[in-house]
Structure 1
Amino acid sequence: MPGSITALMGSTGAGKTTLMDVIAGRKTGGSIQGKILLNGYEASDLAIRRCTGYCEQMDVHSDGSTIREALVFSAFLRQDSSVPDSQKFDSVEECLELLDLHSVADEIIRGSPTERMKRLTIGVELAADPRVLFLDEPTSGLDARSAKLIMDGVRKVADTGRTIVCTIHQPSTEVFMLFDKLLLLKRGGQTVYFGDLGHRAQTMVDYFEAIPGVSPLPEGYNPATWMLECIGAGVNHLHDNPVDFVEVFNSSELSREMGAQLASEGV
């Protein structure tokens, strides 16, 4: 949905990055089944590439350029030739503003701290003016403070009306609260939860707590960590009773709502 950030999380080996690569049109090998829809209609590879940006975990930039030059290069290279130059420069200024890079815009990239490089990676994709932005582990290798700064910037990008999908591994409570929706996968790529997180993740917590055999969320505990432990994807296990979370989801109202939305045209 426009203006939203969806967290793509799950067990190790659940295929989170693989799924995102397929949706973003970046997988060409192997057998791919199913349809990719944009606004309810089947999308071509060209349409997907034109309206999406993809930020990889590795921050690869020309270290002799300035931050502003990297953004200008991306804007002029990837935006359509029909877009006026003035508008492309405006998009660069928007990137600098949203990602808090104005004060360092004319500094050389070489030697930049990791957190700034992460912001630049997001900015380079954002300069292409995509409507959908995919982020693969944007907080990887960062401490808690830097991770929060990065995701605060991502939140501001989403608030401009863009759709963001983000794989993330064990986020802090503060970072997890910045997301709007959650797609939770079990090993093998099976869906355990897909829906709104709700205020302070309460919608998701209520869903899992209503499942027989699931221990309630301890007071003050990180709901992201608790959720992963519930499905057996965390370090600890909060209950011993085996629960088929995939079957529970498939029988849920959330699953029926998702099916109805996929069946409708021009969403």
Structure 2
Amino acid sequence: MNSPHNHQVKINATKINMEYKNQKVGNVNASSTQVTLPFQPLSLVFYHINYFVDMPKEMMKYGVTGKTIQLLHDVGGVFRPGVLTALMGITGAGKTTLLDVLAGRKTGGHTEGTIRIAGYPKKQEIFSRISGYCEQSDIHSPNLTVYESLQFSAWLRLPSNVKSRQRHMFIEEVIDLVELTGLKNSMVGLAGTTGLSAEQRKRLTIAVELVASPSIIFMDEPTTGLDARAAAIVMRTVRKTVDTGRTIVCTIHRPSIEIFEAFDEQ
């Protein structure tokens, strides 16, 4: 779907240069109203990751003398394009911590180790433009419709040279991908009271990240708090997203057999 021959994406250790242009998707008979913003399938490799934070003052009351506490110890792995990877472990194992470290979301503490994107050292200012992060809590403005939520994200995160018509068509494609077409004019509402259901809000969270056309997406427990049917719907959306060639990594806790088998690697 996103062959390197269809667009120009140059990546090196210091910058990524992207040229956005109209493209047909699917076969040569695809509708001229379809547009796909380019992204380059990228691998993420990390090794010898160690993460330290300052020792909490409460711990010192119990005789602990160290100045730091280590939360991640010599962690390594690889995430590949088109592969849905699960980070599994008990509560407190460090799943979300690892995800946050790899995504560059940790502003405190000290990180050691190597992270490479497509073979090049990771540069956070570049990485933030080619990656997305779906938090466990779905935070959306209750006073916007589904379409307006995606439009707001697209205006903020897509390059300024993306034309309005192209942006509109891309948003429509994302809505179709996450199966929210019938709800695009519905108000988001308040969680648990009005508006979208829990699994619909989760799919909206995924869509908000997709409109930025990221190559790599991190998802923190996308099925938490959902019943079996809702979780299956969300995982179907995740599966369709990774099938576009993106790299997707999910933390997951106590999955059902069906959810576990939806992943390519654990």
Q: Specify if TM > 0.5.
A: yes
**Corresponding residue number in structure 2 for 1:249:** none
Q: Give matches, 1:82-231, under 5 Å.
A: 82-110=161-189, 111=194, 112-182=196-266
Amino acid in structure 2 at the alignment position of 1:7? A
Q: Of residues 124, 127, 145 in structure 2, which corresponds to 1:66?
A: 145
Q: Is 1:51–2:51 an aligned residue pair?
A: no
Q: Which residue identity lines up with residue 129 of structure 1 in the other structure?
A: S
Contact 2:116 2:122 in 1 (8 A): yes
**Shift in Å, 1:64:** 0.7
Provide Cα deviations, 1:22-56, integer angstroms capped at 9, x if missing partner.
Answer: 11110121010012210011011111100100010
Residues in 1 aligned to 2:262 and 2:165: alpha-carbon distance in whole angstroms: 33
RMSD of the TM alignment (CA)? 1.0
Query: TM-score by structure 2 length?
Result: 0.67
Q: Which residue of 1 aligns with 2:38?
A: none
Aligned residues: 182
The alpha carbon displacement at 1:94 in A equals 1.9
Residue 99 of structure 1 aligns with an amino acid whose one-letter code is: V
Per the TM alignment, residue 75 of structure 1 is displaced from its structure 2 partner at its CA by 1.0
User: Secondary structure in 2 aligned to 1:58?
Assistant: coil
Cα deviation, residue 86, structure 1: 2.7
Q: TM-score if structure 1 supplies the norm length?
A: 0.66
Shift of 1:13: 1.9
2:57 is the counterpart of 1:6 = no
* Ranges in structure 2 where 5+ consecutive residues have no aligned partner: 1-79
Give the whole-Å Cα distance in 2 for the aligned partners of 1:42 and 1:116. 36
Q: Can you list the C-alpha shifts for 1:81-135, whole angstroms capped at 9, x where unaligned? A: 1223333222211211111000010011112111111111111111111111110
Does the CA-based 8 Å contact 2:91-2:253 persist in structure 1?
Answer: no
In structure 2, C-alpha distance between the alignment counterparts of 1:19 and 1:86, rounded to whole Å: 38
Letter matched to residue 107 of structure 1: S
C-alpha separation in 1, matches of 2:257 and 2:118:
31
CA contact (8 A) 1:8 1:167 kept: yes
Q: Report the structure, 1 or 2, having the larger strand content.
A: 2
Q: Percent same amino acid among aligned pairs? A: 52
Once the 2 structures are TM-superposed, how far is the Cα of residue 136 of structure 1 from its aligned partner?
0.3
Q: Counterpart of 1:29?
A: 108
SS at structure 1 position matched to 2:248: strand
